[in-house]
Each structure stands twice: as C-alpha cells, then as structure tokens.
Structure 1
Amino acid sequence: MLLSLVLHMYSMRCVLPAAVLLGTAPTYVLAWGAWRLLSAFLPSRVYQEVDDRLYCVYQSMVLFFFENYTGVQILLYGDLPRNKENIIYLANHQSTVDWIIADILAIRQNALGHVRYVLKDGLKWLPLYGCYFSQHGGIYVKRSAKFNEKDMRNKLQSYVSAGTPMYLVIFPEGTRYNPELTKVISASQTFAAQEGFAVLKHVLTPRIKATHVAFDSMKNYLDAIYDVTVAFEGTIDDKGQRKEAPSMAEFLCKECPKIHIHIDRIDKKDVPEEQAFMRRWLHERFEIKDKLLIEFYDSLDPERRNKFPGESVNSKLSLKKTLPSLLILSGLTAGMLMTEAGRKLYVRTWIYGTLIGCLWVSIKA
C-alpha cells in the first residue's frame, strides 16, 4: 500500500505544472486579445513589441517549471552569443520537450519573446494556442507534396518587411526520432542511401524545403544559423542501447537529470543559397550531429559517453527570470476564478476562444 502511494505521488509530480500551464491559458489569451484590439490602429511594430513581451512572460513561466521546478542541469557546449540575433535555429527532433530547448537558449540571450516556430499543420487545432502561435509569427506547414512554399515565403517576407525580430525554430527531420520506431528509421536510411547521402544512425534524414524557403526569404535579414544538437541524459537502457527521449510529462516528473546542448553558430555567408547545394550542406550538418550523438550514446570509452566532445558550461537559470511571470499569471488567473463573473469569462474564453481560433486557422493559417 505504501509503495503504491509513493508511486502514485511520483506520477503526480507533473500535475501541478500541467494545471498551471493549462489553467493560465485563458488569462494569457484574454490579455493578448485585449492588446490586439487596443493596438488595431497602431503601427504593427508597436503591436509586435508588446506581443513579444507578453509571450516572454508566458514562456518564462513555462521555463520556471521546465528548469527551476525540475532542477534539470543545462550543459552548454560551443559558443552561444550573449546578444540577441535574427537567426534560424536548426535542431534534431526527438521529444515533445524540444521546443522548450529553443526557449532555454533564447532566454539566455534575452530573446525569449522573439521565438517563433515552423510547426506541423495539425498543431493549429490546439485549443487557444493553435490560433495564437500563428498570430505570434509561427508558420504551419504540411509535409511533402502538400507543402505550400508560396504561403510560407509570403509570411516570412511580411515579417521581414515589418522588422519583426526572428528566432525561427525549424526541426528539419519533420518528425521525432524514436529508436523504437525501426520502420521509420529504416525508411529514412533507405532514402538517404538512394539519394547518395550518408546513412545516419541517431537522427533522421533532414528535409530541405522549409529550411531553404526560410533562409531564402530572410537571407538579407538574418545574422546567422544556429545548428543545435540536443541529447537528454538518462536515455540509455541497461543494455547500453538508446531509448526514447522523455515526453513532457516524464520530463516534468523529473526523469531527466541533464540536458546536453551543443551549439554551432554558422554565419549566413557560409550557407549555400541554391536549394541543391543547401540540401547537401544540411545533410552534412546532420552528419555532424550524428557523430556527436554516436559519441554521446555509443562511445567505447565510458569517460566519453553521456557527454559531447569538448568543454561544457553548467548554465543555471535564475529564479528572477521566471518566478515573477509565474506569480503574475497565476495571480491573475486566481483572481478571475474568485468571482462568478470571472469564472464565466474564464469558461467562455476556453469554449468560444477555441471555436473562434479553430475557425480562424481553418481560413487563414
């Protein structure tokens, strides 16, 4: 009985973060919606600046749970510029936590509000946030033949014209790498071999379309590309084989002790512009990622396993950057829920906000 209680309490460690993160969603969307209306007749850059600040508040609260609450150690390899830049962020994709990693780096550059994502089209149906991510500068894309290059290019060029700060996150693999999905990995490796590319072990063969359109649309606006390789410690089983990366719920249950993040900053002049050349360049970057991950997971030397080559820096996030956001959003939400009118507004925001958002993205996104 006692053991069952302990196990139950352990599994409940993600409930508080999930309740706060989801529970504050209507509060945040109401605040953003109010600003959207108030700024209707103001210059777009004024709207964007405040929207970025609002987004920074919410994402800081997210990082309170994913960094301060979990106590995870962030180990950085390579050089992360201190100053914010207009960048494309390219990373390997293995977990639902991956989008948080971009936040982890961005907050250390004071660029958290500028993070925008290239997202799978199905995510636009997320309640409340599906619509908001698009409004914040996110871009929903479909895979393969359904990919709408013109639409993505137009959106990016409009952001450039408006001077929108860009920390654009792309996962070129298109889907998460899971070592248990052997058919997906095999198909990816077969495709690489057929195209004359190196076969990759710990990442999937990257797709070029979204990366090429993003770079081509913003090349005169960008400062650099960040090539980011991520490994979650604790993802090797008893036999020394790689296992699935932690999900968001598992991560919030403190099942990941350390995140290893390797950053290569690539100046835009070193990136080929033509799609065919960029395709080979991108695959070569993923070959580098693969070698880093082979060293991390498969090194015969136990001293070199579970870390990337080179020196690392243990980067700890101060509570000063996250706790105020948690107190503001949770306090506003609690205040709303304490009155009958507030509770009605809260529920209606969930219902009508979701319905209006789904209608909007079905037409616009």
Structure 2
Amino acid sequence: MLNYITQTLRALFYGTALFSFAISINIVQICSMLLIPYSRRLVWDINSRGAAQSMWWVMQYIFEKNHKGNITFSGDRIPSDESAVVISNHRSFTDFYMLHAVAIRRNMLPHVKYFAKDSLKYIPFFGFGMWLMGMIFIKRNWTQDEGQLKKIFKTIKRYAAPIWVVNFVEGTRLTQKKLQESQAFARDRGLPILQNLLLPRTKGFVACIRQLRNTHVKYVYDFTIAYRHIKKGLQCPPNLLQIHSLPIITPPWYFHVHVRKYSIEDLPSDEEKLAEWVKQVFVEKDAILEDMKIKWTKCEKLGEIRTEKYF
C-alpha cells in the first residue's frame, strides 16, 4: 500500500511539474510570435533552441538520470550537427525518449521535427506549442498533405537550418490488431509479411526525399527501436505513468536503438524504386527485431553494443 501511494505521489509530482514547465514554455512561444514581422528565422530559432530543447532536455533528464533508464546503442556512428531524414519504427510514446537519446548525444535535440497527426495540433497548449516548434502536421490524406508538405520543405530549404525530419513511416503506433491487419493486407497483395512491424507507408517518405535532394539534408538515418521487459519480453515498453511513477525503470525494462545511415545521393531517384527501398529497409528491421526476441543485444546483426553516458 505504501509503495502504491509513493508511486502515485511521484507520478503526480512529475506530471504537475512537466505540465507547469510546458505552460511556461508556451508563454515564451506566444511572446515569440511578436517577432514574426521582423524575423521568422529568429522565431524558428527561439522555438527550436529555446522551447523545444528545454522541454525535451528536461524529459530526457528525468528518464535517464532520475529514473535510471538504461539505453544502449549499436550500428553506424553518426556525427554531431548533421542534418538528416530519420525513419523509425513506432511502438509507443516512449519512442520519443529513444530518438531524443540519440539526438541529445549528437547536439541535435533542438532540431528534431516530427511528422505528426494533424489532430494533435488541437490539443490545448501542447498542440499550439508543437506547431510553433515546427512540427510537420499531416492528415494522412495525400491530396490534402502534398501542398502543405511543399510549403514546409520550402521553409526548411530556405533556412538551411540543422534539422532531423523524423517520420514514423508505419503511420501509427504498433498494436496487435494493427499488426494483424497489416499482415492480412500484405498477404493479399503478395508483399513481405512482417512479424514485428507494420508495412511502411511510403508516400510521405518519398515526398520528403524528393524535396530534400540536393539540399543541406544529405542523409537518411534508420533507427530500429527495441524494448525488453524481463518478464514480458520484447517490445513491451513502459507507459508514461510507469516512467514517472517508478523510481527505477532499468530493470525491469531495457532499451536499445540500432542506427543505420544512408546517403540520399545513393538512394533510387525513381519514386517507385525508392518506395521499394524503404520497404526493404523494414524487412531488414523486422529480421533484427525477430533475432532480438531471443538474443536481445547479443544479436549478431547489431554488431558492437555501446553505452554512451550523457547525464
């Protein structure tokens, strides 16, 4: 009983503190709008280097330092301050901690911009803040999204600012129901049947690469995010309540990010072939996750396992 009360109080403390901090950042963001007539680039920088970095840094500190979330890394070593299109599997809200774990170690935390569902921008306070941070809201209706994406990428190219454009190309978080639906879809069309991922939705990714070729964004990073619970096994991440109520989250959870880096220059220029390329990337990601079910980070496909302490 005492343990339950302690966890509840801890969750309330962190929840209230983060909400209050987010509101204070929102106020700064609103004030920054006064500068729009003078310098839109300055407003972009205030909301990236100020608002976004502050919020993401505090959340990452709580996850890794306060609650001892132990994240390991493998794959290609990427340099600091390098712009890229980032594709990743999407399992839960906890994925953001994994992506930010890499970003903060490469000095890119302020510059992470997500493809996000259009409905999120209507969340009081947070939606408006995300819009000012430069998040890329899409309706997942290509007819409606295409024009909006062109405008956003035009801004990115004009500013030539450091950026990670993050696209969860599965289009939604993985659930058992969605996995079964995706497998049925693949089976009906003779496509690869994935065991741990949804089939990627390629239109947004293809449009992104088409718009960013021959710009300062020269690479694609592929992140494979994996979770392991000592009893529940692979891909059972903690939820937000567990993250903020438990004093220590490793153990019982362990976290891993595998990174692969590709030059945009080397990707197919033909859009159909590019769509096939990203599908093949997901076939390879699925094989990695399948091996990790049994071997976890001893999976040979991962190579050297690194712990990169930051906090």
Q: Distance in 2 between matches of 1:15 and 1:147?
A: 40
Shift of 1:249: 1.9
Q: Distance in 2 between matches of 1:147 and 1:70?
A: 42
- 1:320-335 superposed matches below 5 A: none
Secondary structure, counterpart of 2:166 in structure 1: strand
Choose the corresponding residue for 1:46, options 42, 45, 52: 42
Shift of 1:271: 1.8
Q: Distance in 2 between matches of 1:164 and 1:267?
A: 19
| Cross-structure match for 2:103 | 106
Shift of 1:164: 3.0
Contact 1:236 1:243 in 2 (8 A): no
| Cross-structure match for 2:288 | 292
Q: Distance in 2 between matches of 1:80 and 1:126?
A: 36
| Cross-structure match for 2:127 | 130
Q: Distance in 2 between matches of 1:313 and 1:227?
A: 17
| Cross-structure match for 1:317 | 310
Contact 1:208 1:282 in 2 (8 A): yes
| Cross-structure match for 1:82 | 79
Give CA-to-partner distance per residue, 1:329-359, whole Å, 9 cap, x none.
xxxxxxxxxxxxxxxxxxxxxxxxxxxxxxx
2:271 maps to a residue whose letter is Q
Percent of matched pairs sharing the same residue: 24
Which range moved further: 187-196 or 57-66?
187-196
Shift of 1:270: 2.2
Q: RMSD of aligned C-alpha atoms?
A: 2.0
| Residues 117 and 305 of structure 1, relative CA distance in 2, 3 Å threshold | closer
Choose the corresponding residue for 1:208, options 194, 202, 206: 202
1:262 maps to a residue whose letter is H
| Cross-structure match for 1:97 | 94
Could you tell me the TM-score, scaled by structure 2's length? 0.90
Shift of 1:144: 4.6
Q: Distance in 2 between matches of 1:57 and 1:189?
A: 40
| Cross-structure match for 2:181 | 187
Contact 2:224 2:259 in 1 (8 A): yes
Q: Distance in 1 between matches of 2:144 and 2:195?
A: 26
Give CA-to-partner distance per residue, 1:80-127, whole Å, 9 cap, x none.
323211111100000111122222111111111111110012211222
Shift of 1:147: 5.0
Q: Does 1:305 align with 2:301?
A: no
Secondary structure, counterpart of 2:114 in structure 1: strand
Larger radius of gyration: 1
Q: Distance in 2 between matches of 1:243 and 1:268?
A: 30
1:248 maps to a residue whose letter is L
| Cross-structure match for 2:29 | 32
| Cross-structure match for 2:254 | 258
Q: Distance in 2 between matches of 1:258 and 1:119?
A: 26
Q: Distance in 2 between matches of 1:99 and 1:53?
A: 18
Secondary structure, counterpart of 2:296 in structure 1: coil
Q: Distance in 2 between matches of 1:8 and 1:306?
A: 35
Contact 2:87 2:221 in 1 (8 A): yes
Contact 2:226 2:235 in 1 (8 A): no
Q: How many pairs were matched up?
A: 303
Contact 2:297 2:305 in 1 (8 A): no
Contact 1:83 1:109 in 2 (8 A): yes
Q: Distance in 2 between matches of 1:294 and 1:74?
A: 19
1:250 maps to a residue whose letter is Q
Q: Distance in 1 between matches of 2:118 and 2:130?
A: 12
Q: Give 5+ residue unaligned stretches, structure 2.
A: none
Secondary structure, counterpart of 1:312 in structure 2: coil
Q: Does 1:246 align with 2:238?
A: yes
Contact 2:29 2:132 in 1 (8 A): no
Shift of 1:236: 5.2
Shift of 1:69: 1.3
Q: Give 5+ residue unaligned stretches, structure 1.
A: 319-365
| Residues 284 and 12 of structure 1, relative CA distance in 2, 3 Å threshold | farther
Q: Does 1:117 align with 2:114?
A: yes
Q: Does 1:234 align with 2:229?
A: yes
| Residues 47 and 143 of structure 1, relative CA distance in 2, 3 Å threshold | closer
Q: Distance in 1 between matches of 2:228 and 2:68?
A: 13
Contact 1:73 1:315 in 2 (8 A): no
Give CA-to-partner distance per residue, 1:63-85, whole Å, 9 cap, x none.
11121111111101012323211
Q: Distance in 2 between matches of 1:77 and 1:155?
A: 32
Secondary structure, counterpart of 1:160 in structure 2: helix
Choose the corresponding residue for 1:274, options 265, 270, 275: 270
| Cross-structure match for 1:350 | none
Contact 2:89 2:223 in 1 (8 A): yes
